[in-house]
Amino acid sequence: MNFWVMWITSFLVSFLAMEFVAWWLHKYVMHGFLWVLHEDHHIIRKDRKWQKNDFFALMFAIPSFFAILFGGIYNWPIIEGAGFGVTAYGLAYFLVHEIIIHRRWKWFNVNNKYVYAIRLAHAHHHQVKTKEGAKNFGMLVPPPNYLKTNN
């Protein structure tokens, strides 16, 4: 198979799969045994710019970096494409979660039906300040009922 076909396919599959991976990790790891790192994202201290929750970005960035590095060195298009796919998802997650939803950095402001849906779903997720009982663990794909609400 052609190098670029494998690379692009791997990139796209990895990017799309990350929404499900992120959902699972958010529900079962962040709201599970690593709640100690995620809790400060639900109970925000205004005096701190960074949260322990920000550590989760490294959990994805480090393997992505090595996939890109070794995929490039050894000419493994599937590994390299996957590394870039996970990295692209991380960038999309950062833009949506940190800039559009939480406004931790006010670089730009976007308002449309999709943004309204993800903000509302995320607001409902943050209504729960404890490890148990939260809903809406995804990020880029809001539950369909949120897309049907009027903004």
CA-based torsion, 96, 135, 149, 14: positive or negative: positive
Contact 93, 21 (CB under 8 A): no
On whether residue 125 sits in a domain, the answer given is no
pLDDT by residue (tens digit) across 81-100?
999 999 999 999 999 998 99
Is residue 38's pLDDT more than 70? yes
Counting residues of the chain whose pLDDT is more than 70, the rounded percentage is: 98
CA distances for 85 relative to 15, 68, 108, 136, angstroms: 4, 10, 24, 23
Contact 143, 114 (CB under 8 A): no
On whether residue 149 sits in a domain, the answer given is no
pLDDT by residue (tens digit) across 46-71?
777 788 988 999 988 999 999 999 99
Q: What is the helix (H) or strand (E) element at residue 16, kind and residue range?
A: helix 3-25
Is residue 151's pLDDT more than 60? no
On whether residue 20 sits in a domain, the answer given is yes
On whether residue 33 sits in a domain, the answer given is yes
On whether residue 148 sits in a domain, the answer given is no
Mean pLDDT, rounded, for 32-36: 95
On whether residue 114 sits in a domain, the answer given is no
State residue 124's pLDDT score.
92
- The backbone torsions φ and ψ at residue 133, rounded to the nearest 5 degrees and listed phi first, read 95, -5
- For 78, the token pair is 């599937």
State residue 9's pLDDT score.
98
Measured between alpha carbons, how far is 120 from 114 in angstroms, rounded to an integer?
Answer: 10
pLDDT by residue (tens digit) across 123-135?
999 998 999 999 9
Return the closest-CA partner of residue 138 out of 24, 54, 47, 23: 23
On whether residue 128 sits in a domain, the answer given is no
State residue 148's pLDDT score.
82
pLDDT bucket at 150, cuts 50 / 70 / 90:
low
State residue 149's pLDDT score.
65
On whether residue 86 sits in a domain, the answer given is yes
Average pLDDT value for the chain = 92
- For 17, the token pair is 């799969």
Domain span holding position 28: 3-108
State residue 21's pLDDT score.
96
Measured between alpha carbons, how far is 75 from 47 in angstroms, rounded to an integer?
Answer: 46
Q: How many separate domains does the chain show?
A: 1
Measured between alpha carbons, how far is 137 from 29 in angstroms, rounded to an integer?
Answer: 11
